[in-house]
Structure 1
């Protein structure tokens, strides 16, 4: 049994039997021995000192707000507290104590920063010392474990490192005792995002104490954790799961995971503690192909990869270049791509990214292009539909993964819209329009459908879900077909038993510019308000066109929506103060208790209203099928067809090409002058080991996991594909023709 297994076993056997104070005592029983080695004259090796100096320099780097520091000195009370902080509320949704911790770090930085006006200031030193003594006296414990084992220890060890020689012996001992609650033996140190961040905090403890053994242990834990797993952590598809619910957390815990690694990789570079090159390569791959592929242009978070954090302010703000810069500094692997991402995140160059990826462990599909980004978020029986609303955040996320489809040209189309969102009209979803959502404690439920997946060759692709709602008596078969300049949304078999209407939402975004529609063969600009429109051919808003294959009835709002943050988040900052946003919302009404209803529309980004009609007349897209059994689209301009077989069946791709699937699957076909050039297949159910396709065209070739045999004109080509299994089940298989 390795040392991590021992830790976990120890934790499982003891933590739940002891009060918090007892656990803290157990993990700190050697604290005095550690603090004995803190004195600056008892230094450890040169590498440790080099890392220590780098960490402290980094903590001192942020600018000092002189006005803020002056105000903190003036406003502190004699007991070391501040009058505007509620020290009584230690609830999961309160804990304003974090402000006190941040004040101490800010003041410590001002006191120690070489170019600070307050460097060595006696009054400031007295103030920060009083504030620290106040905290150490009360040792505030929050109802949320995260603050006790991560948030507070992280702040505390940073404060200790910054103040360092200005600490009293008592402050050193008691401060390190609190910092030491960030421990590999504690509850939060589970495999996943938190383990690495806790290890990073422990590393700082080792640096503060000048303890080589702690630092060596931390680096080994980090190196061991940079790995692909089918459990918590980094998945084979390069998405990230913090928990065992199989809900994506790439842009939350997963980014913290990567950031902690990259930060430490830079700090320990050039020392004997340097991380292995294999670990650094995997980390770079995860950043470029996982994190950046889940972001608009690699810079703006895609809300399709978000969870309860959507109920926090400014959550879609652009990401800094720090993570990319750290990776670039720590590794020589994929340097050009990292350098490009640094420039993109700094706004120095225009993005030129073009890639499509299906994260099969997370039921999440992204389509990245130089001038737009689109995604699809789904759920299946292999995991929960959504993250639990931990700490009473994300209180209306019930339908968020029911096939949500987001499109962005700027990365800011949905910025802070969430207090005023209609959460039963999330873009892309088909939802029963109930009088109210179920209680927030009922958000997370196990998915019900096996057939959920995507097919992609890395450039183009499709996503599909055989939707069975976990909240309503509703079924629907929904698919999205992505091409270079546009994508097609199809729905079929929409059936519901509830006594309320069912709606499919095209989009619900911030209102930007006017809304233009063509209906009854006439174009018009809609005034602000609510509109029920008949025989609509297309609608255009914010340089995105939604084109219907046949004129249809459409509901649309382009007016001011109201709401408040308190409705979606119960933290103390989230008040009932009214929020107003101008919103564009368009949806299709399938009626009450629909039976086998459907829809079909094309989404074309970067298309102004005065260009839509010309595009529509020459649109290269042809819908080959849209039934509960089969959905398919062909792009006549590029000769790419994408097909979803919900059951064994056949479809005529072109006049002379018939494709037959012997099992439910997804297929993408690329044809050329010599017939089929490439086939891409996948098994959304993850149940098949092999797949057989039959095509009337000649297609010969073989690969490690497939064989195509021409049987003559009567039999055509028989293709046998060995599908990925285990952690790779759900991944697409690409079949290249022998003679293109």
Structure 2
């Protein structure tokens, strides 16, 4: 069942904040930290208000520059459209016909957002509304209307709290900053008073005073309180905003500059969680980064400057938390929660927001951090030619990016490579020079999905081991109509019951679903190899499965064992479901034979040993010990080419994030393994070879450089002889691949010329210690974590204290 989350943030924040993400970027600071052109003896409030306005407009720019001209045109088009439709008549009940009545929280929240866009165009040189007296007067009148009819201290909160406490006050304060020299003092006092009522401080939820704000919500509120303090010229309020980042009120308990070990916030392993149990780096984490970074720079070199020495946590998050999950400027969907269902927020736009926030933070960060981040951003921007960053952002972010691109002293960083096991949010990211694969897992700790307020209606299986394959030559895979058209019952990597599902999250409020399994996660070895596992306890079904993945230099092996169900329905494991776009028809080759390319073709492919899809890579179906012992042999592979049509509204009916009814059609190539009706102890084994040619796939299948050594309810294990690597996940005490484990654990062992590398983890977090016996002699311990004890000898025994380690990896180097 879906569990309600009383502390959930309104789903509409993404639309509002993404729309203004570029506008919230910071203008560069001078060497002394003050805004360019600020007089040393200037009034501090005026100085910071000018800086806040520049954050929204970007200041002066060269309108003749094609990039700036394009950004100004986008702003002008959007603002002019809303300006044209603005109801300025006497007796109106709303500012826009589609946002009526204005009293509705969703409607006044969106109304303030539109007014901010118009005000930004009014304050930005080079737009058709720039400096318009008529526009200024209409904006002032609209603000008075909304205050009188919709958003004022006399009204109690109703509906979605987020509009009252974050969405509306943020847009209102931004608008007031832009119009500050035009707004009558009495009117400004009223608007400040309204915001003070609904967002008095960053520390508490106003409509639930016992609930402390955390993460992105706290960061957002700190910015709102700071803008309110500037407009009211109130030093105490500015101090309250600054202190909110560090949670001075509660002695740092919810500080944004601390690593958490549970709940919301940044974890030392790079995880980021919001709403208690959702992996949310790509949306809420990015908002926190942006808002906290904005406030740090806004208050720099003032008496309210942020001086918390632990701001390094925020700086370190760029490398630990964000860099591994951004691929050539795309934010990985496994970290975007219910935002995947938002038509106007595909992966490349959320990626652009994160990139903007990183460059914004670089303006006020120590040089060592800033230099590294600018090089990182330059690489992302240059490689993503599918969705050019310069065409996605507004003037402030554009100015900063162009400065980086034009600076020959800033190198463009290559793609990040490595294996990242984010134990604290049940995510695994494996990155190679040309591709990356991300696993979205779930457990009793981390939600399988979040849905609500009409968002993410078909997110049932997104946390059941979905595997996202990112290809440097195919950056539109998940951002080009994927979620509106993909078969949500057949997501790559998942094992599913084919039962019909009802929409989730169609009611008010947001909720999460957390399964009951304990095991989800794995271990990383030498920052290069990895193994992961997840026990599948299917929602609303008797389906049970033990799933494991093994990550190598050029391959990912996926194993499934003990697949059992008794509901009388077919069970499937989805190997691939590749978006072929509107008219794609890449060649599919199976065991050297080319298959039909016509849409609608489907076929069983019994006994297939390998397959290859042009433009994606290869798939190998190796010998599976579990199948061999049962006498079945061969993969029960099926293939389908189909054309799927859907609308974004099918998966998102949110008040302001809801998708359009416009039909979208995309072609797909699906490969799946059929376990039959109500299987008993079924299994599977397949290998992904991203980017491999058909010839290389055939050679891989024939030469078997990686062998499956075990695939049972006790253990799943592989051996890669070329790497000297053995990797296994033990579900219970047992033997596999020459290893003996005393209890559940994930183990990787690599023998090389420099000795033996060992990694052990307990992704189920069920044990206190685990022992692993190795099948070869060890003379001495070169290095070991404090939690690892090794008894050398002909059959060395490694004892790992896993209690309290929250599924993280323990390592040792032996000789």
- Please indicate, yes or no, whether the TM-score normalized by the shorter chain is above 0.5: yes
Q: Residue 311 and residue 474 in structure 1: after superposition, are their counterparts in 2 closer, same or farther (change >3 A)?
A: same
Counterparts in 2 of 1:89 and 1:529: CA distance versus 1, 3 Å: farther
Aligned CA distance change for structure 1 residues 335 and 155 (closer, same or farther; 3 Å): closer
**Under a length normalisation based on structure 2, what TM-score does the superposition of the two structures give?**
0.78
Question: How far, CA to CA, are the matches of 1:526 and 1:607 in structure 2?
Answer: 20
Matched, 1:445 2:513: yes
Name 1:665's counterpart in structure 2.
745
Q: Does 1:632 align with 2:700?
A: no
Deviation at 1:504, TM superposition (A): 0.6
Where does residue 311 of structure 1 map in the other structure? 341
The C-alpha deviation readout for 1:572-620, integer Å capped at 9, x for no partner, is 5434443211222221111110011111111011123354323433442
Match for residue 705 of structure 1?
Answer: 787
Flag the 1:661–1:611 CA change in 2: closer, same or farther, 3 A. Answer: closer
In structure 1, C-alpha distance between the alignment counterparts of 2:76 and 2:445, rounded to whole Å: 53
| TM-fit CA distance, 1:71 | 5.5
Aligned twin of 1:401? 463
Greater CA drift, 246-255 or 341-350: 341-350
CA distance in structure 2 between the partners assigned to 1:253 and 1:159 by the alignment = 23
RMSD, aligned α-carbons: 2.8
In the other structure, the counterpart of 1:19 is none
CA distance in 1 between partners of 2:767 and 2:620 (Å): 36
Aligned residue number for residue 150 of structure 2: 139
Partner of 1:39: none
Matches within 5 A, 1:436-475: 436-437=501-502, 440=505, 444-457=512-525, 458-475=527-544
Partner of 1:690: 769
* 8 A contact 2:199–2:225 mirrored in 1: yes
Q: Distance in 2 between matches of 1:45 and 1:670?
A: 63
Q: Cα 1:452–1:571, aligned 2, differ >3 Å: closer, same or farther?
A: closer
Q: CA deviation at 1:190?
A: 1.6
Superposed structure 1 runs of 4+ greater than 6 Å apart: 89-92
Distance 1:552 1:131, change over 3 A: same
CA shift, 1:309, in A, is 1.4
Compute the displacement of 1:430 (Å): 0.4
Q: In structure 1, what is the Cα distance between the partners aligned to 2:83 and 2:483?
A: 38
**Greater shift in the superposed pair: 348-357 or 541-550:** 348-357
Correspondence for 2:500: 435
Cα deviation digits, residues 141-162 of structure 1 (max 9, x gap): 7621111111110100001111
Given the superposition, is the C-alpha separation of residues 374 and 127 from structure 1 closer, same or farther in structure 2, using an over 3 Å criterion?
same
Per the alignment, residue 611 of structure 2 pairs with: 539
* Distance (whole Å) between structure 1 residues aligned to residue 563 and residue 465 of structure 2: 13
CA distance in 2, matches of 1:322, 1:263: 11
TM-aligned CA distance change 1:171 to 1:336, over 3 Å = same
C-alpha offsets along residues 312-343 of structure 1, whole Å, 9 cap, x if unaligned?
Answer: 01421242332221232222243443122221
Change (3 A) 1:117 1:493: closer
Do the aligned residues in 2 keep the contact of 1:691 with 1:723 (CA within 8 Å)? yes
How far does residue 563 in structure 1 lie from its aligned partner after superposition? 1.8
Q: Which 10-residue stretch deviates more, 612-621 or 459-468?
A: 612-621
Q: Match for residue 376 of structure 2?
A: 341
Does residue 204 (structure 1) correspond to residue 227 (structure 2)? The answer is yes
1 or 2 for the larger relative contact order (CA 8 Å, sep ≥6)? Answer: 2
Instruction: Select 1:102's aligned residue among 113, 132, 151.
Output: 113
Q: In 1, distance between residues paired with 2:130 and 2:278?
A: 47
Residue 353 (structure 1) aligns with: 416
Q: In the superposition, relative to structure 1, how do residues 476 and 438 fare at CA in structure 2: closer, same or farther (>3 Å)?
A: farther
Of 679, 698, 709 in structure 2, the residue corresponding to residue 594 of structure 1 is 679
Which range moved further: 589-598 or 179-188? 179-188
CA deviation string 1:355-381 (max 9, x = no partner): 211111211111122211111111122
Give the whole-Å Cα distance in 2 for the aligned partners of 1:500 and 1:89.
49
Compared with structure 1, are the counterparts of its residues 345 and 262 closer, same or farther at alpha carbon in structure 2 (3 Å cutoff)? farther
Task: Label 1:56 to 1:673 Cα distance change in 2 as closer, same or farther (>3 A).
Answer: closer
Match of 1:571 in 2: 654
Query: Residues 625 and 226 of structure 1: is their aligned pair in 2 closer, same or farther, counting only changes over 3 Å?
Result: same
C-alpha contact (below 8 Å) 2:497/2:570 kept by paired residues: yes
For each residue in 1:411-459, what CA deviation from the matched residue of structure 2 results, as whole angstroms up to 9, or x when unmatched? 4212231122221111111010013347547984332112222111332
Instruction: Give the superposition deviation at 1:511.
Output: 0.9
Report the equivalent of 1:620.
Answer: 705
Q: What is the DSSP-based 3-state SS (H/G/I as helix, E as strand, rest coil) of the residue aligned with 2:723?
A: coil
Residue deviations 1:68-126, cap 9 Å, x none? Answer: 5555555443237545433128768xx34455323322332343345555444322222
Instruction: Report the Cα distance in structure 1 between the residues aligned to 2:588 and 2:792, rounded to whole angstroms.
Output: 50
Which structure 1 residue ranges, 5 or more long, are not aligned? 1-10, 13-42, 653-657
Q: Identify which of 192, 200, 204 aligns with 1:176.
A: 192
| Aligned partners of 1:358 and 1:454 also within 8 Å | yes
Q: Using the TM superposition, give the Cα deviation of residue 51 of structure 1 relative to its aligned residue in structure 2, in angstroms.
A: 2.6
Q: 2:269 aligns with which of 228, 232, 237?
A: 237
Distance 1:301 1:274 in 2: 31
Flag the 1:175–1:602 CA change in 2: closer, same or farther, 3 A. same
Kept in 2, the 8 Å contact 1:263–1:326? The answer is yes
Structure 1: how far apart are the matches of 2:732 and 2:635?
A: 29
User: Aligned partners of 1:619 and 1:271: how far apart in 2?
Assistant: 64
Task: List per-residue Cα deviations over 1:671-707 (Å, max 9, x = no partner).
Answer: 1247x51110001221322221212322221632222
Q: Gaps spanning 5+ residues in structure 2: where?
A: 1-5, 8-39, 59-70, 152-156, 247-254, 384-411, 624-633
Aligned residues of 2:741 and 2:773 also touching (Cα < 8 A): yes
2:691 and 2:311 map into 1 onto residues whose CA distance is 38
- Measured in 1, the distance between the counterparts of 2:558 and 2:610 equals 14
Distance in 2 between residues matched to 1:569 and 1:583, nearest whole Å: 22
Distance 1:352 1:106, change over 3 A: closer
1:269 and 2:300 are equivalent in the alignment? yes
CA 566–91 in structure 1, closer or farther in 2 if over 3 Å, else same: farther
Shift of 1:280: 2.9
Q: Is the 8 A contact 1:432 1:474 kept in 2?
A: yes
Which residue is equivalent to 2:48? 51
Query: Equivalents in 2 of 1:470, 1:66: separation in Å?
Result: 48
Does residue 527 of structure 1 match 2:598? yes
Aligned residues: 682
How far apart, in 1, do the equivalents of 2:162 and 2:739 lie? 54
Distance (whole Å) between structure 1 residues aligned to residue 717 and residue 574 of structure 2: 21
Contact 1:515 1:525 (C-alpha < 8 Å) held by counterparts: no
TM-score where L is the length of structure 1: 0.86
Q: Does 1:548 align with 2:548?
A: no
Q: Secondary structure of 2:116's match?
A: helix
State the SS of the aligned residue for 2:622. strand
Q: Determine if contact 2:452/2:506 at 8 Å carries over to the other structure.
A: no
Whole-angstrom distance in 1 between the partners of 2:144 and 2:506: 40
Say which SS state the counterpart of residue 238 (structure 1) adopts. coil
